[in-house]
Amino acid sequence: MKELPKHLNKIMHKMHTMVKGNYSKFNPTKKNWYSKYSWTLKQEIKFEDWMVDYIYNNKEAKDELLDIHGKNKNLIRRAVRFFLLNYGWKIKR
């Protein structure tokens, strides 16, 4: 399996940690990998805030993950929400 870029790897590790998932068995090439775990809405919001701050405060992460210039927290939050919409864990009901 091809290794993920440095900052995406850290983000995926954090996602797994928040749901007590087994990151060592994570395979991003496996179809629907993002449906393996679930989290509460509160956990997702906490993760979203963490990811926004992580990217906002880390120029290297922002440059790796996003194609935006400057430090615009609103644009970063929109990108993170799009990421979670597509690849976030399912929300527990």
Q: In whole angstroms, give the CA distance from residue 78 to residue 72.
A: 10
Backbone angles phi, psi at 90, to 5 degrees: -65, 150
Look up tokens 């090439």; give the residue.
Answer: 29
Dump pLDDT digits (tens) for 16-61: 999 999 999 999 989 999 999 999 999 999 999 999 999 999 999 9
pLDDT value of position 70 = 86
pTM tops 0.85: yes
Residue ranges covered by each domain of the chain: 6-18+36-91
> Cα–Cα distance between 54 and 62 in angstroms, integer?
9
